[in-house]
Amino acid sequence: MSESGSAPEVLARVTTDPLDRDAIEAFVRSPENGALVTFEGVIRDHDHGESVTALDYEAHPAAEEFLRETLVQVSRETGLRVAAAHRIGALGIGDVALVASVAAPHRAEAFIACALLVDRIKEHTPIWKRQHLEGGTTEWVNL
């Protein structure tokens, strides 16, 4: 963990580029950790009974800073290295929109910390999605 009072080192990215899972996992890996848990949020073809054909993600101009602050907070709470990247722009079914990774000495704490990390990202990072539904309609989710 970081020195007292200083922010922990985290990896936070908001990008239009495809996400690099290997780089995110490499950031959190360390010799003292025996567990690595990574979550990938993948675009699925349905939502609440509707067929989804594509998604558009839009972000607040400071979304990456909000993401970084969320990661720092989770790192401080758990004492673990964390990393995450969120993709924005037009995404298709099967594309990866979010990669979040945590490493810990043991699997239980890694699973718990990764779930906490993903929940906090969804709660605190101003990124919104518009779903394109079969038939040509669209809807914004969690605005």
What's the CA angle centered on 34, arms 33 and 37, to 5 degrees?
90
28 belongs to a structural domain: yes
102 belongs to a structural domain: yes
Tokens 């996992």 correspond to 25
pLDDT tens across the length of the chain (143 residues): 444 567 899 999 999 999 999 999 999 999 999 999 999 999 999 998 999 999 999 999 999 999 999 999 999 999 999 999 999 999 999 999 999 999 999 999 999 999 999 999 999 999 999 999 998 999 998 77
| Residue 92, domain extent | 11-141
Quickly list H helices, the chain: 21-28, 63-78, 107-124
93 belongs to a structural domain: yes
Cα distance between the two ends of the chain: 35
Full-prediction pTM beyond 0.75?
yes
133 belongs to a structural domain: yes
4 belongs to a structural domain: no
- In whole angstroms, what is the distance from residue 58 CA to residue 78 CA? 29
**How many Cα atoms are found within 13 Å in the side-chain-facing hemisphere of 107?**
0
3 belongs to a structural domain: no
2 belongs to a structural domain: no
60 belongs to a structural domain: yes
Give the domain CATH number at 121.
3.90.1170.40
For the chain, how many structural domains are there in total?
1
Residue among 41, 31, 42, 40 nearest 103 (CA) = 31
